Amino acid sequence: MLTPLLTETAKRASTLFTQEERSLLDPQHVPHHIAIIMDGNRRWAQNEKLKAVAGYWEGAELLIEIVRASAELGVRVLTVYAFSTENWFRPENEIEGVMELFEFYLTHKRELMVQEGIRLDVIGDITKLPSKVQAALQETRSATASGTQINLVLALNYGGRDEIRRAMLKIIERHEREPIKKEELTETFISQFLDTSRWKDPDLMIRTGGDMRISNFLLWQLSYSELYISDKFWPDFTPKELLRALLDFQSRRRNFGK
């Protein structure tokens, strides 16, 4: 269970926002769980006349800052779309560069995550990732397991349809061990077999890069999430942009169809 106690490192990170900026938010209505589609890395690199992978590196450097900002504003879970099941269709050299980035990031940001109280987790079918990435991921998850400031959930080799397919397979396996009655197949029951069963569904989904779609991301979980589309490419999405998204979220009335 996450606690509100700030580490000394997290307190130092509070300079990301002024007291006046933090006072704009109602602390009782900060989204508990935010999901982010970090789009626009390649377009950012193209604008900067750089190779596509440079955009991913720039975006990775930004991520820790956004995690810090989220924790400071009271967000407890941040799920980011890092690599989709469809991303395997991109150029091979680009995929190799992204996998090298994952390994480097998970290894070299590990101690920082520990210091910041960031608890790392993952959703998706990670068995198809390179063994070095899987090893780095497991080590970082173990090292950060006691983090209390915020849960950072990486969606790696993740697709919403694939998640539902894998959930169905788990339900079938469960049925083979212990027959399931049809009246047991409630939404709550099905949710227990999803990758995200440990967390509440996202209150807010942010997509950078301007595109108006959810791209096979958290199809089940986003059913009643508020959506916020930013024209900023991910490497340009600053903590101030995050604050703007949360202020927009708080201006809405959520009635869940009632």
From the list 140, 161, 138, the residue with the least C-alpha distance to 217 is 161
Catalytic residue among 39, 121, 195, 203: 39
Catalytic annotation present for 157: no
Rounding to the nearest 10 degrees, give the CA dihedral for residues 187, 192, 196, 198: 120
Which phi and psi (to 5°) does residue 178 adopt? -150, 105
Catalytic residue among 26, 87, 211, 216: 87
Distances from the Cα of 69 to the Cα of 11, 13, 23, 37, 46, angstroms:
11, 8, 14, 17, 27
Which phi and psi (to 5°) does residue 222 adopt? -90, 10
From the list 197, 221, 231, 216, the residue with the least C-alpha distance to 34 is 221
Catalytic annotation present for 201: no
From the list 17, 31, 21, 24, the residue with the least C-alpha distance to 224 is 31
Question: What three-state secondary structure class fits 251?
Answer: coil
Rounding to the nearest 10 degrees, give the CA dihedral for residues 12, 232, 234, 204: 80
Which phi and psi (to 5°) does residue 127 adopt? -65, -20
From the list 105, 112, 86, 93, the residue with the least C-alpha distance to 122 is 105
Which phi and psi (to 5°) does residue 150 adopt? -165, 150
Q: What residues are labeled active site? A: 39, 87
